[in-house]
Structure 1
Amino acid sequence: MHIPFKPPMIDGVSPSCVFLPSLKNLHNTNGGQNYTTIVEFLIQQFPQISKQIWLDRIEAQKIYQESGNLVQLDSPYVPNSKIYYYRELPYEEPIPFEEQILFQNDHLLVVDKPHFLPVTPTGRFVKQSLLVRLKQRLNCEDITPIHRLDRETAGVMLFSLQPQTRHLYQTLFQDRKVSKQYQAIAPYREDLLFPLDYQSHMVKGQPFFTMQEIEGPANSFTRIELLETRQVLSQHLARYQLYPLSGKQHQLRVHMAALGIPILNDPFYPAVQLKADNDYSAPLQLLAQRIAFVDPLTRQAVDYSSLQTLIL
């Protein structure tokens, strides 16, 4: 059995992949220009990257053909093939919080994610993402998140370790066969009666990284329970148990803000308050506390809980 070549990870970061299209497709998309070498193709197809950067990558042996051979200055263009290259990553200030592994077998990885750590590489965060940290820590390139958590949210996060069984766990979320329980600290309102079921129609908002509620049939559902209340200085705060019955982005944060009890230290809701990436002074008081389901491989009921707590 032939195993396709792919260069290894470096510090948990996988190489980028580029497909070299057929000459016919090239003729249709670039005004008839053909390429004789891979370098010519890269320089023309990625004008935002300087020619010198590609030349430096070749000299540093950072570009591979799918045959496993290094790309040289005169390596011929091979239609319908792939090349792999390593990007230069800028320095990232370490995020000073560590994840904890709660469970691991051959197929599933359960992690307790800290506040402020993004799950996947995004924007300024590549090495300082939970996924890259785990790939480096476990030396496993097949790690893939099965669901999502916001960068601001802490708690239980599931990852697949095997491409062959990943869909079994993803289907659990798609079919809503996963029980998720969150805790939050937020203001207390005496006029709200708990437990409370809230629903709304959520869509992408402005700015683009937020969500908003509009008129329409409900597509997001949350059950909210009151656990305790406490007077903290001038604030009357409460600890809530939240059960998202659907999985919209920022759902819990939007629903709590809509009820007039926005989650403490939320930088997006009810209004966006941009903070520096390295401002760790006020973590969002939202914790993915527990996740439970029937494991599709073992057929056993499993229940994973965060080791973190929110202090009221």
Structure 2
Amino acid sequence: MTRRPPEVDEDAILRVLRVPPECEGMRLDRFLPLELRATSRSRAQAIIKASAFSEDGRKLRSSERLKAEQKIYLWRPPLDEEPPREPIGHIYEDDHLLVVNKPPLMTVHPTARHHKHTVIRTLERERPHQTLSLIHRLDRETSGVLLLGKSTEADRAFKIQLEERSLAAARAADLGLPPERADKTYLAITHGVPSEGLCDLPLEDDPSPLRVKVRVTERGRGQSARTTVKVRATAHGYALVECGLHTGRQHQIRVHLAHLGAPLVGDKLYGPDEGLLARAADGQLTEEDLRVLELPRHALHARSHTVRHCFTGQIHHFVAPLPADLRTFWLDRGGRADDFAEPASA
């Protein structure tokens, strides 16, 4: 089925799920949380009621028993029709490269859950005749420096450069060699004060039902991961932490800091209760959840990125100022404004 069912809105987004043989006979409301990340069963039932169809356009029920290789058609409306709270900040631009300051709570590219107000969609509306591509990504809740290519050649060249540096850092970690200076630095606000120095514990997928979680594993297993941790300041049980990112593993900084006993403020996955992530996705955070989180997003900001320009050879050091939400949070907890200052050696 490629045609939209008559009861589905014109702006709905289609996502097609295939039922693998091992899921034959499973109820639809059991299957859907396995396919959609951070989705509870109650949320899955609501999605089915609103948007689930068979290949021939028949409306599906939560109790539907699935067949192997069956296709589930989800016609879902975009969920982010409200514009973002902050605009995308522009840091640098030339003929090949665009560097922006990504606001918090903005997805970088369209997804089934966030379609209209993403970094890519927003910039396409601002620049209708220009092709832009993401050279790397940031999580939706993370703010800060983001690089985009302005041509296919630029996209390829900068991605290769970043990949080569990441592979070199991973090889150095595997061989036990000291790391070079990190090209990317992040600022984080944590509960508790982490140990300073190099955290080089490898990471692997966590078997959590959420399917998005990563965990620290023993040496010799998983993927090499290296984060340099420096405490800039402390204030009444919180720490402002500078993290140098040597390898770019999924959730690397969040996992390393949590392992060091200092999880990010506002972290719904690696903080006090991983169930916060599903409740947030369902719009079911309680007043107590919000009190525990303290911030509506995790307190992580991509502060700076140093890169050699692939076409000019010039070294650029791009810096994004700390956004208002993290600055206000830190100052309200007794921190000082000069804690955010860029080090003189940068």
Task: Report TM bin, short chain.
Answer: 0.5 to 0.7
Deviation at residue 88 of structure 1 after TM alignment = 9.7
Segment of structure 1 superposing worse, 127-136 or 211-220: 211-220
Residue 117 in 1 paired to residue 67 in 2? no
Residue 142 in 1 paired to residue 131 in 2? yes
User: Which of the two has higher C-alpha Rg?
Assistant: 1
Matches of 1:290 and 1:263 in 2, distance apart? 19
Segment of structure 1 superposing worse, 179-188 or 212-221: 212-221
Q: Please give the residue correspondences for 1:160-171 in structure 2 after superposition, counting only pairs within 5 Å.
A: 160-171=149-160
Matches of 2:207 and 2:88 in 1, distance apart? 30
Deviation at residue 51 of structure 1 after TM alignment = 7.3
Map Cα deviations across residues 93-141 of structure 1 (whole Å, 9 max, x no partner).
Answer: 2222211111112211101011100101112211111110011111145
Asked if 2 retains the 8 angstrom alpha-carbon contact of 1:115 and 1:284, the reply is no
**Alpha-carbon distance change, 259 to 140 in structure 1, aligned in 2, over 3 angstroms:** farther
Matches of 1:46 and 1:212 in 2, distance apart? 40
Asked if 2 retains the 8 angstrom alpha-carbon contact of 1:185 and 1:264, the reply is yes
SS of residue paired to 1:185: strand
Q: Which residue number corresponds to residue 343 of structure 2?
A: none
Matches of 2:151 and 2:281 in 1, distance apart? 36
Map Cα deviations across residues 218-262 of structure 1 (whole Å, 9 max, x no partner).
Answer: 52111111111111xxxx111111011111111111111111110
Matches of 2:223 and 2:128 in 1, distance apart? 43
Question: TM-score, normalising length from structure 2?
Answer: 0.60
Asked if 1 retains the 8 angstrom alpha-carbon contact of 2:97 and 2:154, the reply is no
Residue 300 in 1 paired to residue 314 in 2? yes
Matches of 1:119 and 1:205 in 2, distance apart? 26
Matches of 1:97 and 1:46 in 2, distance apart? 37
Asked if 1 retains the 8 angstrom alpha-carbon contact of 2:202 and 2:222, the reply is yes
Matches of 2:262 and 2:223 in 1, distance apart? 20
Deviation at residue 166 of structure 1 after TM alignment = 1.4
Q: Please give the residue correspondences for 1:19-58 in structure 2 after superposition, counting only pairs within 5 Å.
A: 45-46=1-2, 49-50=4-5
Residue 275 in 1 paired to residue 276 in 2? no
Residue 256 in 1 paired to residue 261 in 2? no
Q: Please give the residue correspondences for 1:91-106 in structure 2 after superposition, counting only pairs within 5 Å.
A: 92-106=81-95
Residue 108 in 1 paired to residue 108 in 2? no
Q: Which runs of 5+ in 2 are unaligned?
A: 12-74, 167-181, 331-346
Asked if 1 retains the 8 angstrom alpha-carbon contact of 2:89 and 2:102, the reply is yes
Map Cα deviations across residues 34-78 of structure 1 (whole Å, 9 max, x no partner).
Answer: xxxxxxxxxxx537x337989x89xxxxxxxxxxxxxxxxxxxxx
Asked if 2 retains the 8 angstrom alpha-carbon contact of 1:291 and 1:304, the reply is yes
Deviation at residue 197 of structure 1 after TM alignment = 2.5
Matches of 2:76 and 2:150 in 1, distance apart? 27
Asked if 2 retains the 8 angstrom alpha-carbon contact of 1:183 and 1:240, the reply is yes
**Alpha-carbon distance change, 205 to 213 in structure 1, aligned in 2, over 3 angstroms:** farther
In the alignment of these two chains, the number of paired residues is 231
Q: Which runs of 5+ in 1 are unaligned?
A: 1-44, 58-86
Map Cα deviations across residues 188-207 of structure 1 (whole Å, 9 max, x no partner).
Answer: 34xx5422433222225531
Matches of 1:148 and 1:205 in 2, distance apart? 24
Asked if 1 retains the 8 angstrom alpha-carbon contact of 2:307 and 2:316, the reply is yes
Matches of 2:303 and 2:238 in 1, distance apart? 19
Asked if 1 retains the 8 angstrom alpha-carbon contact of 2:306 and 2:316, the reply is yes
RMSD of Structure 2 on Structure 1 (CA): 2.9
Structure having the larger proportion of residues in strand: 1
Asked if 2 retains the 8 angstrom alpha-carbon contact of 1:155 and 1:287, the reply is yes
Q: Which residue number corresponds to residue 228 of structure 2?
A: 223
**Alpha-carbon distance change, 209 to 217 in structure 1, aligned in 2, over 3 angstroms:** closer
Question: TM-score, normalising length from structure 1?
Answer: 0.66
Which stretches of structure 1, 4 residues or longer, exceed 3 Å deviation after superposition? Answer: 51-54, 87-91, 276-281
Matches of 1:94 and 1:155 in 2, distance apart? 18
**Alpha-carbon distance change, 136 to 198 in structure 1, aligned in 2, over 3 angstroms:** same
Q: Which residue number corresponds to residue 83 of structure 1?
A: none
Matches of 1:152 and 1:205 in 2, distance apart? 23
Asked if 2 retains the 8 angstrom alpha-carbon contact of 1:183 and 1:242, the reply is yes
Q: Which residue number corresponds to residue 211 of structure 1?
A: 214
